[in-house]
Amino acid sequence: MEDLNGEGKEKPEPGLMGFTVERVSALSDGVFAVAITLLVVSIAVPVVHGTVTNSKLAHGLAQLWPHFFSYALSFIIIAMFWISHHSLFTAIRRVDKTLIWLNMFYLLLIVFMPYPTNLLSLFGQTTVAVVLYASVLAMAGLLQGAMAFYAVQGHRLVDDEFDLGQASGYLRNSLLMATVFIISICIAFFSATAAQFFWLTLFVIQLVEHLVSRKKKLGEPATEAQEAV
């Protein structure tokens, strides 16, 4: 009878309206999957006139290198956003309307990425294409940072035991990504090509952070051993 009356069940927290972290994460993962899948749609099969030969096909594929470059670039960047998003939502224990809508606008930008990616592959030498591409990713970075800040401020949506020092990592990663693309927008007004090369600093920063983090983890056991002695 307890189950029928609902007395033996754990009631949802007030104001959450039944939304759960699992549902929000599932929707987000689905949107990321769709965005990554749609990236490849813009890569067309090369057109070969006359008899198809190895040299003609190779030449046709070589002419599509901007499409392959844009595809690979966007795939890696979206993957980086997904890793950060997944890491953040692993720490989040509850959701509210504000976080849900921040996440929705964030996903709106993520699923839109195939469009500026296609523009970049076709008109990568133009300022407009580069600025649009960078603007979408800069806004995504800012929204991801806003979600992290909102969720952890005052332990609003995380456990009371959550280490706020870890939150700085979420914010730093999101804001660094946004900063790189914002700076590239300024560069694009002088050189669209230079702006695209500047995006490579994003991968350099990620690599350096990974190496520093790994070095710290390797040094922790030695430090603990010295303290024990």
Contact 17, 97 (CB under 8 A): yes
pLDDT score for 87: 87
Contact 130, 196 (CB under 8 A): yes
Q: Which range in 38-42, 54-58, 113-117, 200-204 is most confidently predicted, on average pLDDT? A: 113-117
Over the stretch 67-120, which tens digit does the pLDDT of each residue have? Answer: 889 999 999 999 999 998 998 888 888 888 899 999 999 999 999 999 999 999
Cα distance between residue 157 and residue 89, in whole Å:
10
Q: Is 16 strand, coil or helix? A: coil
Single out the residue of 206, 215, 213 nearest to residue 176, CA to CA: 206
pTM of the model: 0.82
Over the stretch 136-173, which tens digit does the pLDDT of each residue have? Answer: 999 999 999 999 999 888 777 777 777 777 767 778 88
The larger pLDDT score, comparing residue 103 to residue 3, is at 103
Helix axes 97-112, 127-152, angle to 10 degrees: 160
Residue 86, H or E segment: helix 65-91
Tracing tokens 């939150």 back to the chain, one arrives at: 167
Residue 225 scores a pLDDT above 70: no
Cα distance between residue 24 and residue 22, in whole Å:
6
The larger pLDDT score, comparing residue 28 to residue 51, is at 28
Task: Provide the percentage of residues in the chain whose pLDDT is more than 90.
Answer: 43
Which of these ranges, 61-65, 162-166, 185-189, has the smallest mean pLDDT? 162-166
Return the number of other C-beta atoms located less than 10 Å from residue 75's C-beta.
16
Residue 10 scores a pLDDT above 50: no
The answer to whether the Cα torsion of 57, 58, 59, 60 is positive or negative is: positive
Over the stretch 20-35, which tens digit does the pLDDT of each residue have? Answer: 888 889 999 999 999 9
pLDDT score for 142: 95
